[in-house]
Amino acid sequence: MAVTYDKISYPLIEEALKNIINDEFQNVYISPKFEMIGNECIRINLLNSTLEESNANYERRIYEVNIRYYFNCDMHQPKVNEAVKNKIDRLKKHLLDNQTKNLSNAKWVWLDVQSIEYNVEDDENDDADALYIAEFTIELINHNQWSA
Amino acid sequence: MANSTFVYCSSDDVKKVYSRIDEHDSKIQIFNWDLVFTHSGFNLYESKNTGSVTQLFMNGQNLGGSNVTVSYTDSTTNTNEALDATEEVITMVSGSVFSRGDYIKIENEVMLVTVISTNDITVRRGWAGTTAVSHSTDTDVYIGTSFDYENDWYYDSDLDVTLLYVSSSTDPNDNIVESGYDWDTYLTNQIEASSMQLNSMLDHSRFPIPIPQSVVYDDTVNQAGTPEYDYVIIRLTALLTAYNCIVAREPLSEEAEAIMGQISNENGMGLLDRLNEGTLTLNFETDRGDSTQGKILQIVKAGSMRLVEATCPEGFYGEPYERVQILCTASGGYGDAKASIKVTGDSKLYGSTISTDFEISGGLQHIASGLYCRFEGATMNVGDRFDVEVRNRTLKTTDGRLKSVDIFRGKRWTNEM
């Protein structure tokens, strides 16, 4: 039997975020795997979704998305450190400027930047001293009205 | 041949060997752009301590080399007041000859014009590595350069400052501004350097430098095969290029170390180790003097029959070098298929036809001058063609791997001995 369903997680969450971030930032991509693009890039990765509320008419889920902002730079230099932090703040502001979306290709009733972890050190930069990583954890609430 | 452009492999070869090569761009990002002035829809930004910049990129777009040059000419106006060493607003006889972003020079001091208000111009003193000093009134003022077009940029080596003139809607801090080289040019340069490096790493007592190209397999009608480098040489160059590109940015990279392990390692099992040791041989080294074996070249094969064996049990006694042509003239299986046989004659390859209806039996058949061939398969089609390269048995067998060496006695011979 054919299952009629709504495609949400990729087109309305991940791809929508990519398009929005891409308006203001360079080298944005969606992937669970890290790949360095240029000296600065942003990776979007959907972590999970949890049910907030549902009934016969709709389902409301919270999508947790991981956004990593990568910089190939020398953070020992104060001016570089400052510029990188400014760029991270700029990304946060840009996300908050898009706190609600109700479009055919982007849909959430709320977006929160839950946390920003600076200077992330893990296997992605284990072998690359010059790679600085800032990790955003954001939550988006998608309200999906069941198709009639 | 210019050594500087000599290469053993292409950019594509490098990508095939190391698919993530594009991640190892050499560009350096320039951060922290400070606004110098804004005027008429354009902003001039500066970034300090950028290091030498020969090419500038914004969001990957090559802005090209700096099109701003400094060359001082008389502005035709003079100072209209005496200046001390700190004053930043200067009254000129006429301010109309100046533009924002101009480098101006009064005596030996260079200044950067940031604001113009009628005849009063605001400047940055002691610019371009010069020292701010006092100046008398009515002193000549020279103009060195100006920023006229969007994305004009200039690297001031005296100050180690990069200036970038952009539309007022563009903030370089919100973009990726980089100095460095165009990626294709950089990669080509790295391949050239790695080719030279490989030449230095090869055993010179064994290999001619550079390694010659050779035709590995020629299945063309008129021996028009293209000589090429052995794949092992291409791969070694590509691996060296990948290694060099990675360590240029990350000298302690484990990935680079792993790549070097493929090239050379302590077990002597790297490609280069084995090549220098002789357990890997290159095509040009392969002995071609063996007259007991023919080299089969399948030129055209529409039918299912193949030439599977070409041998000269007693050695080939024809031309020193022969390329025998076997061309199917009648289709069919064993006993029905027929072929013409051509060898060298009339001063050219294939110039002599020794048979026009050679019957294919399926057995090991004598073809010409001690060469025997055997076919396998159901049918041969008209037009199917097989060539066999073979050499005369009088040619001495050689081994390209052997070289002469100088040998000395333990004691030098002298008359006293």
Q: Tell if the CB–CB gap between A73 and B252 is shorter than 8 Å.
A: no
CA B362 to chain CA centroid, Å, is 50
Domain around B369: 295-391
| This prediction's pTM | 0.68
**Residue of B80, B98, B70, B71 whose CA lies nearest to B140:** B80
Report the residue count for chain A: 148
Residues B306-332, mean pLDDT to the nearest whole number:
92
DSSP character at residue B285? G
The predicted-structure confidence for B172-220, as pLDDT tens digits, reads as follows 999 999 998 888 989 999 999 999 999 999 998 888 888 988 877 777 7
Angle CA B387–B391–B394, to nearest 5: 160
Query: CA B113, CA B94: separation in Å to the nearest integer?
Result: 14
Q: Give the end of a domain, one of B262, B285, B308.
A: B285
Judge if the upstream peptide bond of residue B210 is cis by omega within 30 degrees of 0.
yes
Q: Is the pLDDT of residue B412 over 60?
A: no
From the list B27, B32, B59, the residue facing A26 with the nearest CB is B59
Which of B93, B126, B145 delimits the end of a domain? B145
Which pair of structure tokens corresponds to residue B247?
A: 């360590």
B175 and B50 in one domain?
yes
What is the ipTM metric for this complex?
0.83
Q: Pick from B145, B160, B193: which residue ends a domain?
A: B145
Q: What's the token pair of residue B413? A: 């011979």
Partner B contacted by A88 (CB < 8 A): no
Q: Which helix (H) or strand (E) holds A143?
A: strand A131-145
Same domain, B195 and B173: no
* Chain B CB within 8 Å of residue A94 CB: no
Does residue B359 lie in a domain region?
yes
| B38 band by pLDDT with thresholds 50, 70 and 90 | confident
Predicted pLDDT at B1: 41
**A:B CB pairs within 8 Å:** 57
Counting the structural domains of chain B, the total is: 4
* Both structure tokens of B393: 């048995």
Contacts of A38 in chain B (CB under 8 A): 25, 27, 60, 176, 178
- Most A CBs within 10 Å: which of B25, B31, B46, B175, as the mutation test of the A interface? B31
Provide the shortest C-alpha distance from residue B343 to chain A (in Å): 59
Residues from chain A contacting residue B162 (CB–CB below 8 Å): none
- Tell me how crowded residue B44 is: count the other CB atoms within 10 A of its CB: 24
How many angstroms separate the CA atoms of B33 and B395, rounded? 74
Q: What is the pLDDT of residue B189?
A: 93
- Determine, yes or no, domain membership for B371: yes
The beta strands (E) that lie in B291-330 are given as 295-300, 306-311, 321-330
Domain ranges of chain A: 9-145
* CB pair distance less than 8 Å for B31 and A83: yes
Q: Report whether B181 contacts B26 (CB < 8 A).
A: yes
CA distance B81 to B34: 30
Pairing status of strand B73-78 against strand B306-311? unpaired
CATH topology of domain A9-145: STM4215-like (3.30.2000)
